[in-house]
Amino acid sequence: MTDLSAAFDLVRRHVAEDRLPTAVLGVADAQGILALDGFGAREDARYLLYSVTKPLVGITAARLVQQGLLTPQTPLAEALTGFGAEREDTVRLRHLVSHTSGIAEPPLDSRAPLREELLRSGRDFAAGTASRYSSLAFEGVAAMIEHAGAAPWDRQLQDWAASAGAAGLSLEPGDALRTVDAAAAGMDEERLLARRHPGAGLSGTAEDLLSIGRALLSGGGEVLRPATLAMMLRPLTGDIPRLGPYPAERGQDWGFSWNLPRRAPGLIDTDLYGHGGWAGTAFWVHPGAGVCWVLLTNRAQRPGVDVDAIDNAVIGAL
């Protein structure tokens, strides 16, 4: 058995010393779960995933690409009539999933309907010329999924996720643990949850994400064909300017909805892909090392918690 005690002890201390209110940490390989434990919460506790939602929506779009119903070059305007009428550039699927669309970003907890917000949103820069993190862009991805797949985006996502053993993913937060400092951090969390946001709205358990990670480590499994997964992991941001909150010194690129920190200075192993979320959630897959890991927690402001250190402790145990 791999000794993962250093990683679990690190998370345990974060909870014991109140840097995190609760946490669930899980590690798996392609064969199954290696370790899973909760600290201040049951190991099967539901959490708000926030931006870990994005690569799951990305997978849903990529499945339509492998069916020939979309391509990374498909313009958003094909699915959303009226989008970009005042733009001279063309926003394509590849721009939406790689944070290079130039769509101006409103607050996550805005009162406006998401689709209406997307249609009236301004432009920060021409598509493909810079990278700035965008959650609203994933409303565009959702529109394209629904247009190509002829069903609500969340239903399509839940169908493939259930086939991979992740039946708990949902836009219905139910008893998911709320973010303890959401209001202090400036977020109206209940308003956000009511928006059913394709960039930040899913909830689920650590085991849900580990099931998806195991399938991806198997080359795609029930989730994606190997060639489609390889397409998702190709960097799409190249040498274009990186605007906050992901400046160039963070050493990462964006693939097809995946964060690719292949030049990150704080990591032992940079052969990885994954995503983090606003409340402290993290989902990372190391294909070369053959493991994936998940951290679920519920605090937006986390001084003293270094996710790179947790990743290093997992990889250092192998």
Question: Using CB atoms within 10 A of its CB, is residue 57 exposed (0-12), middle (13-18) or buried (19+)?
Answer: buried
Nearest Cα neighbor of 22 from 33, 11, 9 is 11
Q: What is the pLDDT of residue 54?
A: 98
pTM over 0.85: yes
Secondary structure letter of residue 248 according to DSSP:
G
Q: Residue 293: phi, psi to the nearest 5?
A: -145, 155
User: Is 90 exceeded by the pLDDT of residue 100?
Assistant: yes
Residue 254 contacts residue 100 (beta carbons within 8 Å): yes
Q: Is the peptide bond before 245 cis (omega within 30 degrees of 0)?
A: yes
User: Is 70 exceeded by the pLDDT of residue 1?
Assistant: no
Taking the C-alpha atoms of residue 12 and residue 7, their distance in angstroms, rounded to an integer, is 9
Distance of CA 103 to the CA centre of its chain: 19
The ranges assigned to domains in the chain are 5-316
> What is the number of H-type helices and E-type strands within the chain?
10, 9
Q: Hey, what amino acid is at 297?
A: T
Taking the C-alpha atoms of residue 144 and residue 53, their distance in angstroms, rounded to an integer, is 16
Strands 282-286 and 273-276: antiparallel
Helical segments of 17-103, H only: 53-66, 93-97
For the domain spanning 5-316, the CATH number is 3.40.710.10
* Cα separations in angstroms, 306 against 295, 301, 312: 12, 12, 10
Question: 13-60: per-residue pLDDT in tens?
Answer: 999 999 999 999 999 999 999 999 999 999 999 999 999 999 999 999
**Considering the chain, what is the average pLDDT of its residues?**
97
Residue 7 contacts residue 310 (beta carbons within 8 Å): yes
Q: What is the pLDDT of residue 228?
A: 97
Distance of CA 309 to the CA centre of its chain: 20
Overall average pLDDT of the 69-95 stretch: 96
Question: 156-181: per-residue pLDDT in tens?
Answer: 999 999 999 999 999 999 999 999 99
Strands 259-260 and 282-286: unpaired
Give the 3-state secondary structure percentages of the chain, helix then strand then coil, rounded to 5. Answer: 35, 15, 50
